[in-house]
Structure 1
Amino acid sequence: MITVHHLNNSRSQRILWLLEEIGLEYEIKYYERDPQTMLAPASLRQVHPLGKSPVITDGTMTLAESGAITDYLANRYGEGRLVPPPETPERLRYTYWLHYAEGSAMPPLLLNLVFDRIEQEPLPFFVKPIAKLISSRTKSSFISPQIAQHFDYLEAELGKSLWFVGDEFTAADVQMSFPIEMARIDASRPNLVKYLDRIHSRPAYQQALARGGTYEIPS
Protein backbone atom coordinates (compact mmCIF):
# COMPACT_ATOMS: atom_id res chain seq x y z
CA MET A 1 0.00 0.00 0.00
CA ILE A 2 1.14 3.55 -0.69
CA THR A 3 2.19 5.64 2.28
CA VAL A 4 2.16 9.42 2.02
CA HIS A 5 4.61 11.14 4.34
CA HIS A 6 2.42 14.18 4.90
CA LEU A 7 3.66 17.48 6.30
CA ASN A 8 0.98 19.86 7.51
CA ASN A 9 0.33 22.94 5.35
CA SER A 10 2.44 21.72 2.47
CA ARG A 11 2.47 20.47 -1.09
CA SER A 12 1.75 16.95 0.13
CA GLN A 13 -1.93 17.92 0.52
CA ARG A 14 -2.33 17.79 -3.25
CA ILE A 15 -0.89 14.25 -3.30
CA LEU A 16 -3.66 13.18 -0.93
CA TRP A 17 -6.11 14.87 -3.26
CA LEU A 18 -4.72 13.05 -6.29
CA LEU A 19 -4.99 9.70 -4.52
CA GLU A 20 -8.62 10.48 -3.69
CA GLU A 21 -9.28 11.36 -7.34
CA ILE A 22 -7.75 8.04 -8.41
CA GLY A 23 -9.68 6.16 -5.73
CA LEU A 24 -6.58 4.41 -4.45
CA GLU A 25 -6.19 3.19 -0.88
CA TYR A 26 -3.31 4.78 1.00
CA GLU A 27 -1.93 5.40 4.45
CA ILE A 28 -0.76 8.70 5.89
CA LYS A 29 2.19 9.27 8.19
CA TYR A 30 1.80 12.73 9.68
CA TYR A 31 4.57 15.24 10.35
CA GLU A 32 4.31 18.70 11.92
CA ARG A 33 6.31 21.79 11.07
CA ASP A 34 8.48 23.43 13.72
CA PRO A 35 6.27 26.29 14.99
CA GLN A 36 9.21 28.70 15.10
CA THR A 37 11.08 27.93 11.88
CA MET A 38 8.13 26.43 9.95
CA LEU A 39 10.56 23.78 8.66
CA ALA A 40 9.87 20.07 8.39
CA PRO A 41 11.04 17.89 11.30
CA ALA A 42 14.35 16.05 11.06
CA SER A 43 12.47 12.74 11.14
CA LEU A 44 11.56 13.22 7.47
CA ARG A 45 15.24 12.74 6.61
CA GLN A 46 14.85 9.13 7.65
CA VAL A 47 12.48 8.73 4.72
CA HIS A 48 14.36 10.85 2.17
CA PRO A 49 17.78 12.54 2.60
CA LEU A 50 16.43 16.03 1.84
CA GLY A 51 13.80 15.80 4.56
CA LYS A 52 11.14 17.44 2.40
CA SER A 53 7.48 16.73 1.76
CA PRO A 54 5.79 15.24 -0.17
CA VAL A 55 7.41 11.85 -0.15
CA ILE A 56 5.63 8.58 -0.86
CA THR A 57 6.63 4.98 -0.38
CA ASP A 58 5.14 2.29 -2.58
CA GLY A 59 6.47 -1.09 -1.56
CA THR A 60 10.25 -0.77 -1.53
CA MET A 61 10.22 2.38 -3.67
CA THR A 62 10.57 5.86 -2.20
CA LEU A 63 9.75 8.87 -4.36
CA ALA A 64 9.99 12.61 -3.68
CA GLU A 65 9.11 15.75 -5.68
CA SER A 66 5.49 16.70 -6.31
CA GLY A 67 5.71 16.53 -10.10
CA ALA A 68 7.41 13.15 -10.12
CA ILE A 69 4.92 11.73 -7.62
CA THR A 70 1.95 13.11 -9.55
CA ASP A 71 3.27 11.68 -12.81
CA TYR A 72 3.98 8.30 -11.22
CA LEU A 73 0.61 7.91 -9.50
CA ALA A 74 -1.47 9.13 -12.44
CA ASN A 75 0.31 6.92 -14.97
CA ARG A 76 0.62 3.80 -12.84
CA TYR A 77 -2.73 3.80 -11.09
CA GLY A 78 -4.97 6.20 -13.01
CA GLU A 79 -6.14 3.55 -15.51
CA GLY A 80 -6.14 6.03 -18.36
CA ARG A 81 -7.89 8.75 -16.40
CA LEU A 82 -6.33 12.09 -15.45
CA VAL A 83 -3.66 11.88 -18.18
CA PRO A 84 -4.31 12.62 -21.88
CA PRO A 85 -3.40 9.93 -24.45
CA PRO A 86 0.27 9.78 -25.55
CA GLU A 87 1.39 11.66 -28.65
CA THR A 88 -1.48 14.12 -28.60
CA PRO A 89 -1.40 17.91 -28.27
CA GLU A 90 -3.24 17.51 -24.97
CA ARG A 91 -0.50 15.25 -23.61
CA LEU A 92 2.16 17.84 -24.46
CA ARG A 93 0.10 20.55 -22.79
CA TYR A 94 -0.39 18.29 -19.77
CA THR A 95 3.37 17.78 -19.46
CA TYR A 96 3.96 21.51 -19.78
CA TRP A 97 1.64 22.42 -16.89
CA LEU A 98 2.93 19.54 -14.77
CA HIS A 99 6.40 21.12 -14.88
CA TYR A 100 5.33 24.77 -15.02
CA ALA A 101 3.76 24.60 -11.56
CA GLU A 102 7.05 24.18 -9.70
CA GLY A 103 9.50 25.31 -12.37
CA SER A 104 7.96 28.70 -13.20
CA ALA A 105 5.00 29.59 -10.97
CA MET A 106 6.42 28.74 -7.55
CA PRO A 107 9.87 30.46 -7.53
CA PRO A 108 8.59 34.08 -7.41
CA LEU A 109 5.96 33.12 -4.84
CA LEU A 110 8.61 31.56 -2.62
CA LEU A 111 10.88 34.59 -3.04
CA ASN A 112 7.99 36.81 -1.98
CA LEU A 113 7.43 34.64 1.10
CA VAL A 114 11.12 34.82 2.03
CA PHE A 115 11.29 38.61 1.73
CA ASP A 116 8.05 39.02 3.68
CA ARG A 117 9.60 37.06 6.51
CA ILE A 118 12.76 39.15 6.39
CA GLU A 119 10.61 42.22 7.05
CA GLN A 120 8.87 40.47 9.95
CA GLU A 121 11.99 39.05 11.63
CA PRO A 122 13.23 40.73 14.83
CA LEU A 123 16.44 42.54 13.88
CA PRO A 124 18.70 45.11 15.58
CA PHE A 125 17.13 48.57 15.28
CA PHE A 126 19.96 49.86 13.08
CA VAL A 127 19.66 46.92 10.66
CA LYS A 128 15.89 46.63 10.36
CA PRO A 129 15.28 49.81 8.26
CA ILE A 130 17.95 48.72 5.76
CA ALA A 131 16.60 45.18 5.57
CA LYS A 132 13.05 46.47 5.02
CA LEU A 133 14.21 48.89 2.33
CA ILE A 134 16.10 46.16 0.44
CA SER A 135 13.15 43.79 0.77
CA SER A 136 10.63 46.39 -0.36
CA ARG A 137 12.65 47.41 -3.40
CA THR A 138 13.35 43.82 -4.40
CA LYS A 139 9.66 42.95 -4.22
CA SER A 140 8.48 46.04 -6.07
CA SER A 141 11.12 45.96 -8.82
CA PHE A 142 11.37 42.23 -9.47
CA ILE A 143 9.22 39.82 -7.46
CA SER A 144 5.81 41.48 -7.71
CA PRO A 145 6.09 42.13 -11.48
CA GLN A 146 7.07 38.49 -12.00
CA ILE A 147 4.10 37.25 -10.00
CA ALA A 148 1.76 39.58 -11.88
CA GLN A 149 3.12 38.41 -15.23
CA HIS A 150 2.64 34.74 -14.39
CA PHE A 151 -0.85 35.13 -12.99
CA ASP A 152 -2.00 37.36 -15.81
CA TYR A 153 -0.87 34.53 -18.08
CA LEU A 154 -2.75 31.92 -16.06
CA GLU A 155 -5.87 34.08 -16.02
CA ALA A 156 -5.76 34.33 -19.80
CA GLU A 157 -5.19 30.59 -20.24
CA LEU A 158 -8.20 29.76 -18.10
CA GLY A 159 -10.26 32.04 -20.30
CA LYS A 160 -9.80 29.43 -23.05
CA SER A 161 -10.97 26.30 -21.20
CA LEU A 162 -12.33 25.04 -17.88
CA TRP A 163 -9.10 23.26 -16.92
CA PHE A 164 -5.47 23.79 -17.85
CA VAL A 165 -5.30 21.03 -20.45
CA GLY A 166 -8.78 21.62 -21.86
CA ASP A 167 -12.31 20.86 -20.77
CA GLU A 168 -11.30 17.66 -18.95
CA PHE A 169 -9.82 17.68 -15.45
CA THR A 170 -6.32 16.13 -15.32
CA ALA A 171 -3.57 15.50 -12.80
CA ALA A 172 -1.94 18.70 -14.08
CA ASP A 173 -4.74 20.61 -12.36
CA VAL A 174 -3.82 18.93 -9.09
CA GLN A 175 -0.22 20.03 -9.59
CA MET A 176 -1.22 23.58 -10.52
CA SER A 177 -3.50 23.99 -7.51
CA PHE A 178 -0.78 24.81 -4.97
CA PRO A 179 0.75 27.92 -6.58
CA ILE A 180 -2.70 29.30 -7.36
CA GLU A 181 -3.89 28.79 -3.79
CA MET A 182 -0.66 30.28 -2.45
CA ALA A 183 -1.06 33.41 -4.57
CA ARG A 184 -4.22 34.51 -2.72
CA ILE A 185 -6.16 35.25 -5.89
CA ASP A 186 -8.77 38.02 -5.70
CA ALA A 187 -11.67 39.22 -7.83
CA SER A 188 -9.33 40.98 -10.26
CA ARG A 189 -8.70 37.55 -11.79
CA PRO A 190 -12.19 36.04 -12.12
CA ASN A 191 -11.13 33.03 -14.21
CA LEU A 192 -8.72 31.93 -11.51
CA VAL A 193 -11.33 32.52 -8.80
CA LYS A 194 -13.80 30.31 -10.66
CA TYR A 195 -11.07 27.72 -11.20
CA LEU A 196 -10.39 27.54 -7.46
CA ASP A 197 -14.11 27.24 -6.79
CA ARG A 198 -14.27 24.26 -9.16
CA ILE A 199 -11.29 22.66 -7.44
CA HIS A 200 -12.58 23.21 -3.92
CA SER A 201 -16.00 21.79 -4.74
CA ARG A 202 -14.64 18.47 -5.97
CA PRO A 203 -15.55 15.62 -3.59
CA ALA A 204 -12.02 14.20 -3.77
CA TYR A 205 -10.56 17.55 -2.70
CA GLN A 206 -12.89 17.64 0.31
CA GLN A 207 -12.08 14.04 1.20
CA ALA A 208 -8.36 14.80 1.11
CA LEU A 209 -8.87 17.77 3.44
CA ALA A 210 -10.76 15.56 5.87
CA ARG A 211 -7.90 13.06 5.94
CA GLY A 212 -4.97 15.48 5.76
CA GLY A 213 -6.02 17.84 8.51
CA THR A 214 -5.63 21.60 8.73
CA TYR A 215 -4.47 23.10 5.46
CA GLU A 216 -3.39 26.72 5.63
CA ILE A 217 -0.96 27.79 2.94
CA PRO A 218 1.68 30.26 4.21
CA SER A 219 1.21 33.86 3.13
Structure 2
Amino acid sequence: MALVFLDRSPQFPPVSQAEPDGLLAIGGDLSPQRLLAAYRQGIFPWYEDEPILWWSPDPRFVLFPAELKISRSMRPVLNGNRFRFSINEAFSQVMKHCRQVKRTGQRGSWINEEMIRSYTQLHEMGYAFSAEAWEADQLAGGLYGLRIGKVFCGESMFSHTSNASKFAFINWVKFLQKEGVQLIDCQVYTEHLESLGARMIPRSAFLQNLEAR
Protein backbone atom coordinates (compact mmCIF):
# COMPACT_ATOMS: atom_id res chain seq x y z
CA MET A 1 0.00 0.00 0.00
CA ALA A 2 1.34 3.45 -0.95
CA LEU A 3 2.59 5.66 1.87
CA VAL A 4 0.51 8.70 2.72
CA PHE A 5 2.08 12.15 2.40
CA LEU A 6 0.65 14.45 5.07
CA ASP A 7 -0.58 17.96 4.37
CA ARG A 8 -1.48 20.71 6.83
CA SER A 9 -4.28 18.66 8.36
CA PRO A 10 -3.27 16.81 11.56
CA GLN A 11 -5.16 13.72 10.38
CA PHE A 12 -3.36 10.39 9.91
CA PRO A 13 -4.30 7.30 7.91
CA PRO A 14 -5.42 4.20 9.85
CA VAL A 15 -2.44 2.44 11.45
CA SER A 16 -3.52 -0.75 9.67
CA GLN A 17 -2.08 0.85 6.51
CA ALA A 18 1.46 0.91 7.93
CA GLU A 19 4.25 -0.86 6.07
CA PRO A 20 5.57 -4.14 7.53
CA ASP A 21 8.37 -2.20 9.27
CA GLY A 22 5.81 0.17 10.84
CA LEU A 23 6.26 3.20 8.58
CA LEU A 24 2.86 4.83 8.12
CA ALA A 25 3.17 8.34 6.70
CA ILE A 26 5.63 10.99 5.54
CA GLY A 27 5.75 14.76 5.96
CA GLY A 28 3.64 17.13 8.00
CA ASP A 29 5.08 19.01 10.94
CA LEU A 30 5.83 18.67 14.66
CA SER A 31 3.15 21.01 15.96
CA PRO A 32 1.82 20.05 19.41
CA GLN A 33 -1.60 19.45 17.87
CA ARG A 34 -0.25 16.98 15.30
CA LEU A 35 1.97 15.24 17.87
CA LEU A 36 -0.93 14.75 20.28
CA ALA A 37 -3.12 13.45 17.46
CA ALA A 38 -0.35 11.01 16.54
CA TYR A 39 0.32 9.64 20.02
CA ARG A 40 -3.38 9.22 20.71
CA GLN A 41 -3.50 6.87 17.72
CA GLY A 42 -0.34 4.94 18.55
CA ILE A 43 1.85 6.84 16.07
CA PHE A 44 5.20 8.53 16.72
CA PRO A 45 7.78 10.49 14.66
CA TRP A 46 11.26 9.04 14.12
CA TYR A 47 13.66 10.33 11.49
CA GLU A 48 17.15 11.75 11.05
CA ASP A 49 16.64 14.06 8.07
CA GLU A 50 13.59 15.71 6.52
CA PRO A 51 10.92 14.72 5.68
CA ILE A 52 9.38 13.61 8.97
CA LEU A 53 8.62 9.88 9.13
CA TRP A 54 5.67 8.59 11.20
CA TRP A 55 5.62 5.06 12.61
CA SER A 56 3.24 2.57 14.17
CA PRO A 57 5.07 -0.77 14.46
CA ASP A 58 3.41 -4.13 14.96
CA PRO A 59 4.24 -5.75 17.31
CA ARG A 60 4.88 -3.01 19.85
CA PHE A 61 7.60 -3.06 22.51
CA VAL A 62 6.07 -2.14 25.89
CA LEU A 63 6.52 -2.47 29.63
CA PHE A 64 3.70 -3.18 32.03
CA PRO A 65 4.71 -1.43 35.30
CA ALA A 66 3.81 -4.50 37.38
CA GLU A 67 6.31 -6.53 35.30
CA LEU A 68 9.28 -4.24 36.02
CA LYS A 69 12.42 -6.29 36.71
CA ILE A 70 14.95 -4.95 39.20
CA SER A 71 18.25 -6.80 39.30
CA ARG A 72 19.99 -7.57 42.56
CA SER A 73 22.86 -5.33 41.57
CA MET A 74 20.48 -2.35 41.24
CA ARG A 75 18.93 -2.65 44.69
CA PRO A 76 21.89 -1.07 46.56
CA VAL A 77 21.88 1.75 43.99
CA LEU A 78 18.15 2.39 44.50
CA ASN A 79 18.45 2.26 48.29
CA GLY A 80 21.66 4.25 48.54
CA ASN A 81 22.42 7.96 48.48
CA ARG A 82 24.47 8.11 45.29
CA PHE A 83 21.66 9.50 43.12
CA ARG A 84 18.72 11.83 43.70
CA PHE A 85 15.54 11.29 41.71
CA SER A 86 13.42 14.17 40.39
CA ILE A 87 10.56 14.81 37.98
CA ASN A 88 10.40 17.75 35.55
CA GLU A 89 13.35 19.61 37.05
CA ALA A 90 15.32 19.71 33.79
CA PHE A 91 13.09 18.78 30.85
CA SER A 92 14.94 20.64 28.08
CA GLN A 93 18.31 19.59 29.49
CA VAL A 94 17.25 15.93 29.42
CA MET A 95 16.21 16.22 25.77
CA LYS A 96 19.51 17.87 24.85
CA HIS A 97 21.51 15.18 26.67
CA CYS A 98 19.47 12.47 24.90
CA ARG A 99 20.31 14.16 21.61
CA GLN A 100 24.03 13.77 22.29
CA VAL A 101 23.90 10.01 22.84
CA LYS A 102 25.74 8.08 20.13
CA ARG A 103 23.64 5.12 18.99
CA THR A 104 24.80 2.13 16.99
CA GLY A 105 23.78 2.29 13.35
CA GLN A 106 22.73 5.96 13.40
CA ARG A 107 24.65 8.82 11.80
CA GLY A 108 23.08 11.43 14.03
CA SER A 109 20.06 11.97 16.25
CA TRP A 110 16.36 12.33 15.50
CA ILE A 111 16.16 14.83 18.38
CA ASN A 112 16.68 18.04 16.40
CA GLU A 113 16.03 21.62 17.46
CA GLU A 114 12.48 21.58 16.06
CA MET A 115 11.70 18.47 18.08
CA ILE A 116 13.13 20.00 21.26
CA ARG A 117 10.94 23.09 20.76
CA SER A 118 7.80 21.05 20.07
CA TYR A 119 8.20 18.64 22.99
CA THR A 120 9.07 21.53 25.30
CA GLN A 121 5.75 23.08 24.28
CA LEU A 122 4.03 19.79 25.14
CA HIS A 123 5.86 19.85 28.48
CA GLU A 124 4.54 23.34 29.16
CA MET A 125 1.04 22.11 28.24
CA GLY A 126 1.32 19.29 30.79
CA TYR A 127 1.70 16.35 28.39
CA ALA A 128 5.47 15.76 28.28
CA PHE A 129 7.51 14.78 31.33
CA SER A 130 11.09 14.16 32.28
CA ALA A 131 12.59 12.05 35.04
CA GLU A 132 16.11 12.76 36.24
CA ALA A 133 18.94 11.21 38.21
CA TRP A 134 21.30 13.69 39.90
CA GLU A 135 24.76 12.97 41.26
CA ALA A 136 26.39 15.68 43.36
CA ASP A 137 23.99 18.25 41.83
CA GLN A 138 25.00 17.20 38.30
CA LEU A 139 22.52 15.71 35.84
CA ALA A 140 23.77 12.12 35.52
CA GLY A 141 20.91 10.47 33.61
CA GLY A 142 17.28 10.73 32.69
CA LEU A 143 14.46 10.15 30.25
CA TYR A 144 11.49 11.95 28.71
CA GLY A 145 8.20 11.15 27.04
CA LEU A 146 4.48 11.88 26.82
CA ARG A 147 1.65 10.73 29.01
CA ILE A 148 -1.57 9.92 27.15
CA GLY A 149 -4.16 8.92 29.74
CA LYS A 150 -3.03 5.67 31.33
CA VAL A 151 -0.19 5.17 28.87
CA PHE A 152 3.26 6.75 29.07
CA CYS A 153 5.04 6.97 25.72
CA GLY A 154 8.77 6.90 26.39
CA GLU A 155 10.91 8.74 23.86
CA SER A 156 14.56 8.55 24.86
CA MET A 157 16.95 8.22 27.79
CA PHE A 158 20.59 8.96 28.51
CA SER A 159 23.21 8.17 31.11
CA HIS A 160 26.52 9.88 31.83
CA THR A 161 27.23 7.64 34.82
CA SER A 162 26.79 3.90 35.25
CA ASN A 163 23.24 2.98 36.41
CA ALA A 164 22.00 6.60 36.32
CA SER A 165 19.41 6.03 33.58
CA LYS A 166 18.28 2.78 35.22
CA PHE A 167 17.89 4.62 38.53
CA ALA A 168 15.73 7.30 36.89
CA PHE A 169 13.72 4.79 34.86
CA ILE A 170 12.94 2.44 37.76
CA ASN A 171 11.86 5.29 40.01
CA TRP A 172 9.77 6.75 37.20
CA VAL A 173 8.02 3.43 36.55
CA LYS A 174 7.22 3.10 40.26
CA PHE A 175 5.82 6.65 40.26
CA LEU A 176 3.69 5.97 37.17
CA GLN A 177 2.33 2.79 38.71
CA LYS A 178 1.15 4.77 41.75
CA GLU A 179 -0.44 7.25 39.34
CA GLY A 180 -2.48 4.50 37.70
CA VAL A 181 -0.52 4.27 34.46
CA GLN A 182 -1.07 0.80 33.03
CA LEU A 183 1.41 0.67 30.17
CA ILE A 184 4.74 2.20 29.13
CA ASP A 185 5.34 2.40 25.39
CA CYS A 186 8.99 1.66 24.58
CA GLN A 187 8.23 1.79 20.83
CA VAL A 188 10.99 -0.42 19.42
CA TYR A 189 13.07 -3.24 20.87
CA THR A 190 16.21 -2.65 22.94
CA GLU A 191 18.08 -5.26 24.94
CA HIS A 192 18.45 -2.75 27.78
CA LEU A 193 14.70 -2.32 28.25
CA GLU A 194 14.05 -6.02 27.77
CA SER A 195 16.30 -6.63 30.78
CA LEU A 196 13.99 -4.34 32.76
CA GLY A 197 10.88 -6.31 31.81
CA ALA A 198 9.72 -4.87 28.48
CA ARG A 199 8.23 -7.25 25.90
CA MET A 200 6.45 -7.31 22.58
CA ILE A 201 2.65 -7.20 22.30
CA PRO A 202 0.39 -6.95 19.22
CA ARG A 203 -0.31 -3.42 18.06
CA SER A 204 -4.04 -4.11 18.53
CA ALA A 205 -3.47 -4.80 22.25
CA PHE A 206 -1.42 -1.61 22.56
CA LEU A 207 -4.19 0.43 20.93
CA GLN A 208 -6.74 -1.04 23.33
CA ASN A 209 -4.68 0.33 26.22
CA LEU A 210 -4.58 3.75 24.55
CA GLU A 211 -8.34 3.73 24.09
CA ALA A 212 -8.82 2.92 27.78
CA ARG A 213 -7.55 6.34 28.77
Give TM class, smaller chain: under 0.3
Greater fraction helix: 1
User: Under a length normalisation based on structure 1, what TM-score does the superposition of the two structures give?
Assistant: 0.24
From the CA coordinates, give the structure whose radius of gyration is larger.
1
